[in-house]
Amino acid sequence: MARFEDLTALLQQFVQNGPAGCGCAIAKDGKVLYEGYFGYADLEEKRPMAEDTVHRLFSLTKVIICTAGMMLYERGKFLLDDPIYEYFPEYRDLQVCVTEANGNHHIRKAKTPMLVKHAFTMTCGLPYSFGGTKTADEMAKVMAELKKKYGKYDIVTEVKAMASVPLQFDPGTHWLYGYGHDIVAGLIQLVSGKTVGQFLKEEIFEPLGMNNTGYRFNADIEKRLATFYKRDENGSMTKAPPFWDEYHQSDAIYEAGGAGLYSTVSDYLKFSQMLANGGIYNGQRIIGRKTIDLMRTNHLTPEQLKDFTFPYVSGYGYGLGVRTLVNPAEAHCNGSVGEFGWTGYPGCYVVIDPSERFSLVYMHQMDPNMEQYHHHRVRAVAYGCLE
């Protein structure tokens, strides 16, 4: 059986080789079992990593957004098998970009409508705009046109505009990491009548006491932000240009679903414990237990699972915005079937295990994030500490 001293030793080893600093916390049954911070939030300033250090979540935003979306689902605001065009009429006549054997492209009408579920499960056919495909290039053009036309615009405006882009495949036929959760964010804003940030603040962050989580910098948040570093092959760390920080500024409008939130390890631990304990934390019910079970059920077909095969998620399926463990042996993991969560580009990571009422949050800010090396080791030691 591992001890928490083993986890401390592991995290100390991490910061000796890069990242500059990291934080990790573990909780079970609403009680914090472990919390540790190592190295520096900023190497040049010698500012230590600490409990109040703020991290850019990037794709760890997705778990919060999809939870918010499913809160509205269980209030009857939409059904998963509803066509997206019932909420965004622009999606009624979708097109697909077909790549021919000779590399040429032709456009045809989509054979199936895009459903709400396709947005949650990333089977909608829209990648990210930096994906290097014809569809991704067209998405980038749409974003450039919106910026030229409006300067600043909100997520609903963008989601509507993306309906003009020919999809990479017919909705529901493949899994593809990309824009789906931004559509979910647009749906949240549309059906709730609130901005995405307002809904998250009122319905999740304030009830859970997540005072250091949001889209916009406020108070001293920016001063407490961990510096994002690039690590070269020799382990040297250099400051990277702020990426997406423009959307944290007070005058920003855009609130994405796939990225864009900041948080602390301790704040995100509260959110993860809520999900691990049936939707309740400190007496506050946020979402239903059965809705969480639906989120962490594998929703991919055998054909779609062929696309979900990168090494980091071996043994996992994909649910409604989260990876979900279906085969511990294939994952080489001492976790539980049904454990779920996701990761974020700078190195943020969450494990949520309702069967153990256990959750783990780990964060650093580094590119490359070396997520498989760091996250899977933390996961192994953390589970080894459970009695």
- State if pTM tops 0.95: yes
Over the stretch 212-234, which tens digit does the pLDDT of each residue have? Answer: 999 999 999 999 999 999 999 88
Backbone angles phi, psi at 14, to 5 degrees: -55, -50
CB count in 10 Å sphere of residue 358: 25
Flag whether pLDDT at 295 surpasses 90.
yes
Residue 71's SS3 state is helix
Over the stretch 343-368, which tens digit does the pLDDT of each residue have? Answer: 999 999 999 999 999 999 999 999 99
Flag whether pLDDT at 1 surpasses 80.
no
Residue 124's SS3 state is coil
Flag whether pLDDT at 151 surpasses 90.
yes
Over the stretch 48-98, which tens digit does the pLDDT of each residue have? Answer: 999 999 999 999 999 999 999 999 999 999 999 999 999 999 999 999 999
- pLDDT given for residue 195 in this prediction: 98
- pLDDT given for residue 226 in this prediction: 98
Flag whether pLDDT at 210 surpasses 90.
yes
- pLDDT given for residue 296 in this prediction: 98
- pLDDT given for residue 128 in this prediction: 97
**Rounded distance between C-alpha atoms, residue 345 and residue 52, angstroms:** 20
Q: What is the mean pLDDT of the chain?
A: 97
**Rounded distance between C-alpha atoms, residue 59 and residue 289, angstroms:** 24
Over the stretch 9-47, which tens digit does the pLDDT of each residue have? Answer: 999 999 998 899 999 999 999 999 999 999 999 999 999
- pLDDT given for residue 104 in this prediction: 86
Structure tokens at 19: 């990242």
- pLDDT given for residue 249 in this prediction: 95
Decide: 27 and 265 in contact? Cβ < 8 Å.
Answer: no
Residues facing 24 on adjacent strands:
36, 362
Mean pLDDT of 289-310: 97
- pLDDT given for residue 243 in this prediction: 79
Mean pLDDT of 175-187: 98
Flag whether pLDDT at 322 surpasses 90.
yes
Which residue ranges form the domains of the chain, and what is each CATH number?
A: 4-61+196-384 (3.40.710.10), 73-192 (no CATH)
Residue 313 confidence class, pLDDT cut points 50, 70, 90: very high
- pLDDT given for residue 12 in this prediction: 98
- pLDDT given for residue 101 in this prediction: 80
Flag whether pLDDT at 242 surpasses 80.
no
C-alpha closest to that of 216 among 177, 251, 179, 181 = 251
- Taking each helix axis from N to C terminus, what angle separates 180-192 and 155-162, rounded to the nearest 10 degrees? 120
Checking 329-335 for CB contacts under 8 A at 24+ apart, the result is 332/376, 333/376, 333/379, 333/380, 333/383, 334/379, 334/380, 334/383, 334/384, 335/379, 335/383
**Rounded distance between C-alpha atoms, residue 41 and residue 53, angstroms:** 7
- pLDDT given for residue 312 in this prediction: 95
Backbone angles phi, psi at 327, to 5 degrees: -145, 90
Classify each residue of 48-84 as buried b or exposed e, where b means 16 or more C-beta atoms within 10 Å of its C-beta: ebeeebbbbbbbbbbbbbbbbbbbbbeeebbebebbb
Residue 100 confidence class, pLDDT cut points 50, 70, 90: confident
Residue 235 confidence class, pLDDT cut points 50, 70, 90: confident
Flag whether pLDDT at 3 surpasses 90.
yes
Flag whether pLDDT at 2 surpasses 80.
no
Over the stretch 104-142, which tens digit does the pLDDT of each residue have? Answer: 889 999 999 999 999 999 999 999 999 889 999 999 999
Which residues lie closer than 8 Å to 268 by C-beta, 6 or more apart? 57, 60, 210, 213, 348, 350, 361, 363
**Rounded distance between C-alpha atoms, residue 163 and residue 126, angstroms:** 10
Residue 328 confidence class, pLDDT cut points 50, 70, 90: very high
Classify each residue of 146-161 as buried b or exposed e, where b means 16 or more C-beta atoms within 10 Å of its C-beta: beeeeeeebbbbbbbb
**Rounded distance between C-alpha atoms, residue 264 and residue 350, angstroms:** 12
